[in-house]
């Protein structure tokens, strides 16, 4: 490369750090959503870089569905301790117990949809005016038009018709009382960029991103992890396979990839040759074609 | 590290915007680029195959990949800029896909604001039309450094060299009036792929590059301004910890210029000079930093500096003033109010302004200046003077897209209503 140029990852990094700093400068009570997924791990890393040598000046918020991979929780707790970052956990179980939401039943039951209520309640209770999330525009059609700074009304809803134009790198976070923002610092990253960046920066990852043996079953072409609370359909059978996670969410709807990848290089190779989108492996998006768009309007990320 | 991985880490980022009138083939072209660069996944492909079958298309309709927009258009609701991504071994691309219809000047301006390249589509059968002129004008107004005019649907004009040459001539006639430095022309068929990624056998008379070759090779690194040192202070980092009780770092994204430790710099608006002690990033100090990096700078003197200030080179300082002459593109349904007050945002600096004068309005289809009609409404562009509540330090947009750009915000709704480019 020529002198005075930076590669695409460094440029994405610079943009994301700029956005994260902008959030802290423009808002009073920011949080960053942390799920333990690779996108939130990258966002965490970027936040660290943005404020170094100071600590990250906002807490992480984890919406805990109760259906976790234990490995993710261990990783999360380690990271927060080691970096001295404050962690807030909001439990979907609490929303169920206090009657804010009703648990889904049946074989496809998932708590992913319920998360929205837990999230919005948590934001309101803590008087949060901006929540940063790891959404990327390449993930899904409904996200392609999303802004870096996404305006939400008092009910946390996203109105696609009422979003502000974003020009250059001037972000307008002005708002009325009670309104808030969702901000997506890694909007312009693709899955490939995320993995390459993890590789370039040598960021430690939870072990379940790499190949491991796990009890799994196949539902309509998607490999899902077996857990005691999962209901199987008649024709489904639990077997042990070499798998890794491509993205991590609630265990009930996180699709796994059959894989033998043990290094980041191998994962990058796999991503480069994979012919299925990341969300194609997410059961919750498959449930309805317009699933994502609907959930966004309700206030999910 | 395997060789292919090393390659991934050496890619440049190129942002481009696409503009074309309805049905010029923009969706098909984007679909083609994504498809031929293998950015389309199986599940997406299956979805469009299914949809193509449903609509009775014989071939897979690549335009369906950007379906979201099309559906919106049919419903007549606000169309927006959609961002799409693909990569080749050389570059990562970000497409700001903006619909071409007349009321979407606002979106085109938005998409153009960060673009290195504008791809403008022309239907070979129609030639240069009003919309084409408008697209070229916006590209030049927003100072997109490179324009690629794709003459599309060449298959429908028998790949005629004459048609292509004519369109080239027509376009140049208009672009001569504009500030565009670098314009290229490519004869393509988005539908069949001619000269998009692969060279076409149907255009033997054309010895220029394919669209993809241009996108991969257009020289963009020298588009950045490396001469005027500008660092708008975004945030002050003060750990106030036992280990670092006195650390004060000025965080920001370099707008232009090259910074090195030891450089003499001036802090605006105070005008006090000092020098750079260090340029810090996570766990490492840099001996050189430049746009568009995000850095943290320590200075050798203890000064009172806060967000909105700017660290600049001792020489080649920006201009300073309260009366700002600029082009404005209006983004809101509520027209601009002459003598109206707006919140004003320039780099990381917030203030207020009043619209002091409207000099003229531009007819974006003919490029004529209208000195009579001074009402600037949605999607209109004009030249105005604003007065700011505090002195502004700025550059002409022509030499600096970051320190020369401004947004106006409606104080009642908090909406972004105007995009300004300082003359
Ligand atoms: N023959 C031919 N048809 C094309 C070409 N590119 C696009 N089309 C057709 O033109 C129509 C409009 O294309 P579309 O991509 O939807 O246009 P958009 O409105 O600019 O996005 C569709 O029927 C396409 O199949 C081309 O290169 N040759």
Say what the pLDDT of residue B57 is.
58
Mean pLDDT of all residues belonging to chain B = 89
| Contact yes or no for B301/B222 (Cβ under 8 A) | no
CA of B97 to the centre of ligand 1 (A): 15
Say what the pLDDT of residue B385 is.
98
pLDDT in tens, B273-314: 999 999 998 878 999 999 999 999 999 999 999 999 999 999
pLDDT in tens, B185-226: 999 999 999 999 999 999 999 999 999 999 999 998 888 888
Say what the pLDDT of residue B130 is.
87
Q: Which of B19, B30, B57, B63 gets mutated to test ligand 1 (max ligand atoms within 8 A of its CB)?
A: B63
**Interface contact B236, partner A, CB < 8 A:** no
Helix (H) or strand (E) holding A49: helix A38-51
Q: Find chain B residues with C-beta within 8 A of A276's C-beta.
A: 41-43
B24 to A36, A110, B16: CA distances (angstroms): 44, 44, 18
pLDDT in tens, B108-140: 899 999 999 999 999 999 999 988 988 999 999
List A5's β-bridge partners, or say none. none
Are A167 and B8 a contacting pair at CB < 8 A? no
**Interface contact A263, partner B, CB < 8 A:** no
**Interface contact A290, partner B, CB < 8 A:** no
* Domains in chain B, CATH or no CATH each: 6-223 (3.40.50.300), 230-313 (2.40.30.10), 319-422 (2.40.30.10)
Instruction: Please state the three-class secondary structure of chain B as a single string.
Output: CCHHHHHHCCCEEEEEEEECCCCCCHHHHHHHHHHHCCCCCHHHHHHHHHHHHHCCCCCCCHHHHHHHHHHHHHHCCCCCCEEEEEECCCEEEEEEECCCCHHHHHHHHHHHCCCCEEEEEEECCCCCCHHHHHHHHHHHHCCCCEEEEEEECHHHHCCCHHHHHHHHHHHHHHHCCCCCCEEEEEECECCCCECCCECCCCCCCCCCCCHHHHHHHCCCHHHCCCCCCEEECCEEECCCCCCCCCCCEEEEECCECEECCCCEEEEECCCEEEEEEEEEECCEEECCEECCCEEEEEECCCCCCCCCCEEEECCCCCEEEEEEEEEEEECCCCCCCCCCEEEEEECCEEEEEEEEEEEEEECCCCCCEECCCCCCCCCCEEEEEEEEEEEEEECCCCCCCCCCEEEEECCCCCCEEEEEEEC
Say what the pLDDT of residue B104 is.
76
**Interface contact A231, partner B, CB < 8 A:** no
The beta-carbon neighbor of A174 closest among B42, B239, B414 is: B414
Say what the pLDDT of residue B275 is.
97
Q: Looking at chain B, which residue has its C-alpha nearest residue A46?
A: B282
Residues sharing a CB contact under 8 Å with residue B64, sequence separation 6 or more, in sequence order: B27, B31, B48, B51, B52, B70
Say what the pLDDT of residue A27 is.
97
**A129-133, A167-171, B36-40, B159-163: which range is least confident on average?**
B36-40
For residue A37, pLDDT beyond 50: yes
User: Residue B121 CA: which ligand 1 atom is closest?
Assistant: 20
pLDDT in tens, B33-90: 888 776 655 555 566 566 666 655 556 666 666 655 455 555 544 457 889 898 888 8
Say what the pLDDT of residue B64 is.
61
Half-sphere exposure of B194 (CA within 13 A, CB side): 21
Q: What value does the CA radius of gyration of chain A take, rounded to a whole number of Å?
A: 19
Confidence at A299, pLDDT banded by 50, 70, 90: low
Say what the pLDDT of residue A286 is.
44
Of residues B257 and A287, the one with the higher pLDDT is: B257
Q: What is the DSSP letter of A5?
A: -
For residue A153, pLDDT beyond 80: no
pLDDT in tens, A100-117: 777 777 766 666 677 888
Are A170 and B296 a contacting pair at CB < 8 A? no
**Separation in Å, CA of B219 to nearest CA in chain A:** 11
Is B161 exposed, middle or buried (CB count within 10 Å of its CB: 0-12, 13-18, 19+)? middle
How much is the ipTM here? 0.91
User: Residue B22 CA: which ligand 1 atom is closest?
Assistant: 19
| Contact yes or no for A250/A67 (Cβ under 8 A) | yes
Confidence at A283, pLDDT banded by 50, 70, 90: very low
For residue A197, pLDDT beyond 90: yes
**Interface contact B309, partner A, CB < 8 A:** no
- pTM for the complete prediction? 0.91
Nearest to B27 by CA among B130, B103, B119, B89: B119
Are A165 and B293 a contacting pair at CB < 8 A? no
For residue A301, pLDDT beyond 80: no
**Separation in Å, CA of B12 to nearest CA in chain A:** 5
For residue B362, pLDDT beyond 80: yes
* Domains in chain A, CATH or no CATH each: 8-193+289-298 (3.40.50.620), 205-283 (no CATH)
Supply the residue whose CA is at minimum distance from atom 19 of ligand 1.
B23
Are A17 and B294 a contacting pair at CB < 8 A? yes
Say what the pLDDT of residue A130 is.
95
pLDDT in tens, A229-278: 777 888 888 899 998 887 777 777 677 888 888 888 888 888 777 655 55
């Amino acid at each position: 490369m020529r002198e005075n140029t930076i590669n695409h990852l460094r440029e994405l990094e610079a943009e994301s750090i700029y956005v994260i700093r902008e959030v802290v400068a423009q808002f009073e009570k920011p949080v960053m959503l942390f799920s333990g997924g690779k996108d939130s791990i990258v966002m965490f890393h970027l936040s660290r870089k943005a404020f170094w040598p100071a600590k990250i000046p906002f807490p992480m918020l984890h919406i805990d569905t109760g259906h976790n991979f234990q490995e993710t929780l261990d990783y999360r707790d380690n990271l927060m301790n080691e970096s001295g970052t404050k962690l807030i956990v909001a439990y979907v179980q609490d929303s169920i117990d206090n009657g804010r939401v009703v648990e889904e039943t049946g074989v496809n039951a998932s708590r992913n949809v319920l998360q929205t209520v837990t999230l919005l309640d948590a934001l309101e209770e803590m008087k949060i005016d901006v929540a940063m999330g790891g959404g990327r525009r390449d993930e899904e059609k409904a996200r392609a038009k999303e802004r870096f700074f996404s305006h939400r009304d008092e009910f946390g809803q996203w109105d696609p018709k009422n979003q502000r134009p974003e020009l250059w790198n001037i972000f307008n976070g002005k708002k009325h009382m009670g309104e808030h923002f969702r901000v997506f610092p890694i909007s312009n990253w693709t899955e490939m960029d995320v993995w390459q960046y993890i590789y370039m920066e040598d960021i430690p990852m939870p072990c379940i991103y790499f190949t491991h043996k796990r009890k799994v079953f196949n539902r309509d072409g998607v490999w899902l992890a077996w857990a005691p609370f999962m209901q199987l359909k008649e024709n489904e059978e639990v077997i042990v396979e070499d798998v890794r996670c491509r993205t991590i969410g609630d265990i009930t709807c996180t699709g796994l990839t059959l894989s033998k990848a043990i290094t980041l290089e191998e994962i990058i190779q796999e991503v480069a040759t994979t012919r299925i989108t990341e969300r194609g492996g997410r059961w919750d998006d498959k449930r309805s074609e317009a699933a994502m768009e609907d959930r966004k309007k309700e206030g999910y990320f | 590290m395997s060789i292919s991985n090393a390659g991934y880490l050496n890619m440049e980022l190129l942002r481009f915007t696409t503009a074309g009138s309805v049905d010029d083939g923009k969706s098909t072209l984007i679909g083609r680029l994504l498809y031929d660069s293998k950015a389309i996944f199986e599940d997406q492909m299956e979805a469009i195959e299914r949809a193509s079958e449903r609509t009775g298309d014989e071939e897979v309709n690549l335009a369906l990949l950007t379906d979201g927009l099309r559906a919106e258009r049919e419903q007549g609701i606000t169309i927006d800029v959609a961002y799409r991504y693909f990569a080749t071994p050389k570059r990562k691309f970000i497409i700001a896909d903006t619909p071409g219809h007349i009321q979407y000047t606002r979106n085109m301006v938005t998409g153009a604001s960060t673009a290195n390249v504008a791809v403008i589509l022309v239907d070979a059968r129609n030639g240069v039309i009003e919309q084409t002129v408008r697209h070229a004008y916006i590209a030049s107004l927003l100072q997109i450094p490179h324009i690629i005019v794709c003459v599309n649907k060449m298959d429908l004009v028998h790949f005629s060299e004459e048609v292509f040459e004519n369109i080239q001539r027509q376009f140049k006639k208009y672009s001569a009036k504009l500030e565009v430095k670098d314009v290229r022309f490519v004869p393509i068929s988005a539908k069949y792929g001619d000269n998009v990624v692969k060279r076409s056998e149907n255009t033997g008379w054309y010895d220029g590059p394919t669209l993809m070759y241009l996108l991969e090779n257009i020289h963009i690194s020298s588009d950045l301004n490396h001469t005027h040192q500008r660092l708008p202070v975004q945030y002050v980092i003060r750990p106030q910890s036992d280990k670092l009780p006195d650390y004060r770092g000025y965080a920001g994204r370099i707008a232009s210029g090259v910074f090195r430790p030891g450089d003499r710099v001036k802090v605006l608006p105070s005008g006090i000079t000092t020098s750079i002690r260090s340029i810090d990033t996570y766990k490492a100090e840099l001996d050189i930093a430049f746009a568009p990096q995000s850095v943290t700078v320590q200075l050798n003197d203890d000064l009172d500096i806060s967000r909105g200030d700017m660290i600049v080179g001792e020489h080649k300082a920006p201009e300073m003033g309260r009366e700002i002459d600029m082009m404005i593109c209006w983004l809101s349904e509520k027209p601009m109010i002459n003598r109206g007050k707006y919140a004003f945002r320039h780099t990381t600096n917030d203030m207020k302004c009043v619209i002091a004068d409207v000099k003229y309005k531009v007819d974006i289809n003919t490029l004529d200046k209208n000195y009579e009609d001074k009402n600037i409404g949605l999607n209109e562009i004009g030249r105005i003077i604003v007065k700011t509540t505090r002195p502004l330090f700025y550059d002409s947009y022509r030499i600096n897209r970051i320190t020369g750009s401004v947004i106006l915000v409606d104080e009642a709704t908090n909406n972004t209503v105007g995009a300004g480019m300082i003359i």
